[in-house]
Amino acid sequence: MAGPPRGPVAPGRFSVRRRWTLALLTALLAVGVLFSPLLGTVAIAPETVLRILLHQLSSGRLFSDPCAGAPVPPSGCPGLIEIVWDARLSEVVLAVTVGAGLGLSGGTLQGVFRNPLADPFLLGLSSGGTLGTAVVVVFRVGVGEQNLLLPLFAFVGAIATGLVILVAARSRFGSVETLLLTGVALSSFLSAVLALLLVFSPTGSLQVDFWLLGNLGALDWSEDGIVFGVVLVAGTLLVAYGRELSLLQLGSDVAQSLGVDARKVRVRLLLLTSVTTAAAVAFTGVIGFVGLVSPHVVRRIAGNDYRVVLPGAALVGAGFLLAARDLALVAFPGTLLPIGIFTSFVGAPFFAYLLFRRRRASTMGAP
Amino acid sequence: MTDPASPPLRLRALTVRYGERTALYDVDLEVPRGQFLALAGPNGSGKTTLLRAALGFLVPAAGTVELFGSDVLRLSVVERARRVAWVPQEESPRDDVPLADYVLYGRYAHLSWLQGEAPADREEAMRALAAVGLADRSGDGILSVSGGERQRAILARALVQESPLLLLDEPTSHLDIGHQLDLLTRVRELSRERGVTVVAALHDLNLAAKFSDRIVVLSRGRRVADGSPSEVLSEELLARVWGVVADLRRDPRTGAPYLLPHHLVPPASPVPGTFLGRGPVHVIGGGGAGSPYLRALAEAGYRVTAGALNLLDSDLETAESLGALTAVEVPFAPLGPEVRERLRALLTAAAAIVVAPFPVGPSNLPNLEEVRGVLGRTRLLLVRRPVGPEWDFTGGRATELLDELRRHGAREVGGVEELLEFLAGELGVNAAAPSA
C-alpha cells in the first residue's frame, strides 16, 4: 500500500537511546573494579595493590618487583600477589559478574511478567538453583569435581523450575497471574524441600546455610570463569531481546499484532533467565534484591526502553554487589559477613517502597 | 507475498467456541479490497471474537480465516503483522514512553532482529503522528496523554505498520462524540486515500451508518444482516437484535439512515428468546416458502422443526442448516404413513405451528390434514397468502382446509415481523403457554 503522505516532517522527540547513561554506568563500574581490590581483610598499602594489579595485567612487564618497599608475608612477594590477584580481584570479578547476572535476570523477569516486583527469587529460580547445589553438598556428589558439578546442578535446578513453571502454566500462558502464582508456590515448595534436606543432613547444613545468605569468598579464577562465561553468553542474548521486551509491555495481544511472537519470546527469555540465575547462585548462594532493585534504578535515569534497561540493570547490579562487598569490608573489617545481608538491608526497604507505590498505581502488573 | 486476487479477509464457515459456549457460529464473510465494513451487534454477539479470530489469536472450532488468501494460522506472527494491523478497544501500556517511540513500535514487523530503526522509520512515525494530529505531542508520554490522544497514537502506530487490512475493535468507546467523529473521519480518509481495507466493530449504529460502506450485524454469534447501511438498518432489526424500539430517520442532507432509539421493547412482549424451552416452533412449508420463517425464528432464538418436506426441497436445506428436526418424504410421492406419524409427533411437540404460504398439491396436502388433527392443542399461525399467484393445485381442497383452520382459531399473520411479534407477545411471559 502507499505510505503516508510525502513531504517534510518535523523531527520527533524520540527518546534518545541514552547511550551516555550506559557509558556513565560503565565508567563508574570500571572505577569500582579498579579500586575495590584495595579493600580486603588483610591490610596492604594501596600503591602496592595497584602495582601488583598492573604487574599482573601486563604479564609481569611492568614493575618487575611489585612488592618493593611493602611488608611481605612469610610466603614472600608471590604470597602478596596471590592475595591481591587471586583472592581480591577474583572476588571483585565474581561480585561484578553475579551482580550483572542478577540485575539482568530481574530486569528481564520484570519485563516478561509486566510486574515491577518480579525477580529471580519470586519465581523460585534461585531456590531451584540453590536446591541443586545443596544436593551436591549434602549428598557429597563427586567430591573434587564440585567446580563443575555445582553450576551444573544449579542449572538443572533452576531450569527444571523454569520448565515446571512453563508446563504448569502452559494451558493459560497468556495469564501473567497464573505464572507468578505458580512461581510463588514453587518457590515455597522448593524452600520446604531444601529445609527437609538440611534437617536430615546436619553435616552439610553449615555450607548450605552460608549459601542461603550469599557469599563471594573462597573462590578462585576457574569458578569465576564459569560464571563469567555463562553470564556473558546468556546475558548478551537477553540484551538482544530488548526491543521484543519493550513491545511485550503493551500486552501479549498487542505485541503479537505488531509481529512479536509473544509466547516464543517469553519462553526463550524465561529459559535464558534460568541459566543466568543458575550461574549466579551456583557458587555464591542466594543474594537477594539485586535483581529487584537494579532495573528500577535504570528506569529512573534512562526511561523504560528495555534496550537500555537490560544492559543498564546489568551494570547497576554489578555495581550494587560490588558496593555491598566493599561496604562489608569497610564497616566490618576482618569479618566475613555474608554479602546477602548487605544487599537485603538496601533491598528490603526498597521493596517496601515499591509495594507502597504500587498500591497507588492502578494498573501496574495488569496483563 | 499476497495473492492480489484474494480478498483481504475471508471467513469460511467460521465457528469459535469458548469451552461450552459458541461465540461464533458458521459465519461466512468476504471483505473486498478498500471496503470500510462496520461490524454491529449487541454485547456478546461475537464482534470482538470475529476480529480476534481474524488476527489469529483464536483457533476456530471449525472453518477458516484467510488473510489475502492465506490461512491466518499458517502465517508467521510477523507475516500476519505485515498483513493486518489492529487498533484494540483499549490498551493499558505499563511503561511511560514518548508517543514517538510508541508509534515507532509499529515498524517492528518490518525490521529484522537486532536491526535498529532507520531515520526513514522515524520519519514514517512522525508522518503518522501528523496524520492523526499529534505531531507536536511526539515527546509526551503515552501514560500522560488523554484517552483520545492515546487512541489516536495507537491508530498512528497501526498506520506505520503499513498493513493493507486494518481491524478496529470499538475504537471510539472511550471517546467523547467529538473525538469519535474525528477518529472515524481519519480512518475513513485513510481508507479512501490509501486503499486500506477497514473492518471496525462499532457499538454505535449511527456512526456505523455514517462512516461505513457496509454493515454486518451479528447476533448470538450469527450473521443476521449484511448490506449497505440503508439496506441493513431497520426498526425491525433493532427490535429483533437489540430489543430496542427506535424510529428510522434519514439525514436530510446526506440521505444516510439513522436511528432514533426510544426505549427497550416493553417487558409485556419480551425478547423472543424467553420463549425457549416451551417447545419448538414448527414450520410447514415447501418450495422455499418456509425458509424465511425458519431463519427468522432461529435467529430470534426459537428452536424450530419443519416438515413434512420432500428430499429436494430448499426448505429442507434451510431447516437442516439450522439443525432442525424434520419429517422427510421422497420427491413426488404422497406422504407415507411413517412420515405422517413423524410429522404428527413434531406437531404435537410444537409450542406453535406456522403454516407458510407454500404451494399445495396432492402430495403435500396431508400436511394441512395433519395440522387439522392437532387443532386446538397448540397455537396455529397462518401466513397470509399474497393475492395473485396460483397456489392451490388440489382443486380447492387446500383452500377449504385453510378456511376450516381459520374458523377454529388459527390466527393470520402478515409476514415475518408480525409472526415474531405475535410469538413474543402471545407466547411470552404473560401469556399462558399452550402445553407442549
For residue A202, being part of any structural domain is answered with: yes
Say if A171 is an interface residue toward chain B (CB within 8 Å).
no
Instruction: Average the pLDDT over A253-269 and give the result.
Output: 92
Q: Do B88 and A10 touch (CB under 8 A)?
A: no
List phi, psi (to 5°) of B380. -125, 130
pTM above 0.80, yes or no: no
Q: Do B138 and A12 touch (CB under 8 A)?
A: yes
Domains of chain B and CATH, by start: 9-233 (3.40.50.300), 235-264 (no CATH), 272-426 (3.40.50.450)
| Cβ proximity of B419 and B383 under 8 Å | yes
B124·A247 Cβ contact <8 A: no
Q: Which residue has the higher pLDDT, B69 or A149?
A: B69
Return the closest-CA partner of residue A105 out of A245, A300, A283. Answer: A245
With CA atoms as reference, the chain A residue closest to B95 would be: A304
Compute chain A's Rg from CA coordinates: 22
Which stretch of A143-147, A248-252, A286-290, B40-44 has the lowest confidence by average pLDDT?
A143-147
User: Which pLDDT tens digit goes with each residue over A123-138?
Assistant: 788 888 888 888 887 7
| In chain B, % of residues over pLDDT 70 | 92
* Kind of pairing between the strands at B379-383 and B304-310: unpaired
Q: Which of residues 153-172 of B touch A (CB under 8 A)?
A: 157, 159-164
Q: Does B387 touch chain A (CB under 8 A)?
A: no
Cα-flanking dihedrals φ and ψ of residue A206, to 5°? -60, -50
Give yes or no for a cis peptide into A45 (omega within 30° of 0). no
Q: Report in angstroms the alpha-carbon separations of B46 from A332, B64, B217, B225.
A: 67, 16, 10, 14
Query: By CA distance, what is B33's nearest residue in A?
Result: A1
A187 is in which domain, residue-wise? 81-360
Whether the CB of B75 is below 8 Å from some CB of chain A: the reply is no
Interface of A with B in 284-323 (CB under 8 A): 299, 303-305
- Minimal Cα–Cα distance from B284 to chain A, Å? 48
Q: What is the mean pLDDT of chain B?
A: 84
Across the interface, which of A250, A256, A303 has its CB nearest the CB of B77? A256
- The full length of chain B comes to 436
Shortest distance between the Cα of A261 and any Cα of chain B, in A, equals 6
Q: What's the rounded Cα separation, in Å, for the pair A15 and A54? A: 40
Strands B21-31 and B36-40: unpaired
**Does residue A318 surpass a pLDDT of 60?**
yes
Residue A339 belongs to domain with CATH number: 1.10.3470.10
- Residue B189 contacts A, CB cutoff 8 Å: no
Whether residue B269 is predicted with pLDDT greater than 50 in this model: the reply is: no
pLDDT at A334: 67
Q: Residue B362 pLDDT > 50, yes or no?
A: yes
Give the one of B85, B114, B193 whose C-beta lies nearest to A257's C-beta: B85
- Give the chain A residue whose CA is nearest to the CA of B167: A257
Phi, psi of A317 (to 5 degrees): -60, -45
Q: In a 3-state reduction of DSSP, which class is residue A283?
A: helix
Choose among B97, B131, B195: nearest Cβ to A1.
Answer: B195
Query: What band does A9 get if pLDDT is binned at 50, 70 and 90?
Result: low
Q: Which residue has the cell 573494579?
A: A33
Q: Identify which of B85, B105, B128 has the shortest CB distance to residue A247.
A: B105
Task: Give B114→chain A minimum CA distance, Å.
Answer: 7
Secondary element (H or E) of residue B85: strand B84-87
- Residue A269 belongs to some domain of the structure: yes
- Residue A121 within any structural domain of the chain: yes
- Grid cell of B72 as nine digits: 491466518
> A250 and B93 in contact by Cβ < 8 A?
yes
**Mean pLDDT in residue range B350-375:** 88
Measured CA to CA, the distance from residue B394 to residue B371 in angstroms comes to: 17
Count of domains for chain A: 1
Min mean pLDDT across A161-170, A308-317, B250-259 is at: A161-170
Residues 6+ apart with CB under 8 A from B421: B269
- Does any CB of chain A come closer than 8 Å to the CB of residue B85? yes
What digits encode the pLDDT tens for the residues B42-92?
888 899 999 999 999 999 999 999 999 999 999 999 999 999 999 998 787
Which cell goes with A323?
558496593
Domain membership of residue A197 (yes or no) is yes
Q: Long-range contacts made by residues B26-31, C-beta under 8 angstroms, separation at least 24? A: B26/B62, B26/B63, B26/B222, B26/B321, B27/B63, B27/B218, B27/B221, B27/B222, B27/B223, B28/B223, B29/B216, B29/B223, B29/B226, B31/B7, B31/B197, B31/B199
Q: What is the pLDDT of residue A254?
A: 93
In chain A, which residues have their Cβ closer than 8 Å to the Cβ of B91? 250-251, 254
Chain B positions touching A257 (Cβ under 8 A) are 55, 80-81, 84-86, 88
Minimum-distance CB partner of B81 among A258, A299, A366: A258
Residue pair A308/A103 in contact by the 8 Å Cβ criterion: no
Beta bridge partners of B412: B382
Indicate the pairing of strand B257-264 with strand B244-250: antiparallel
CA distance A179 to chain B (A): 18
Mean of the per-residue pLDDT values of chain A = 81
Q: Confirm or reject contact between A247 and chain B (CB < 8 A).
A: yes
What b-and-e string marks burial along A212-239, b requiring 16 or more CB atoms within 10 Å of the CB? bbbbbeebeeebbebbbebbeebbeebb
Whether B286 contacts B313, CB under 8 Å: yes
In this predicted model, what pLDDT tens digit does every residue of A165-182 receive, in sequence order? 777 666 554 456 666 677
Q: Does A366 touch chain B (CB under 8 A)?
A: yes
Residue B53: closest CA among B26, B81, B72, B40: B72
| Residue A55 within a domain | no
- Kindly state the cell numbers that stand for A84: 591481591
B189: buried, middle or exposed (CB in 10 Å: 19+, 13-18, 0-12)?
exposed
Give the amino acid at A283: F
Angstrom distance (rounded) from CA B138 to CA B101: 8
User: Is residue A9 included in any domain, yes or no?
Assistant: no
pLDDT digits (tens, 9 = 90+) for B126-142: 989 988 888 888 888 89
Residue A12 forms part of a structural domain: no
Q: Which residues of A touch B108 (CB under 8 A)?
A: 243, 247, 258-260
What is the bridge-based pairing of β-strands B197-201 and B36-40?
parallel
Evaluate whether residue A67 is within a structural domain: no
Contacts of B86 in chain A (CB under 8 A): 253-254, 257
Please answer whether residues B114 and A240 qualify as being in contact, where contact means their C-beta atoms are separated by less than 8 angstroms. Answer: yes
Residue pair B91/B40 in contact by the 8 Å Cβ criterion: no
Which of A199-208, A252-261, A274-283, B202-211 bottoms out in mean pLDDT, i.e. has the lowest? A199-208
The phi and psi torsions of B228 (rounded to 5 degrees) equal -70, 160
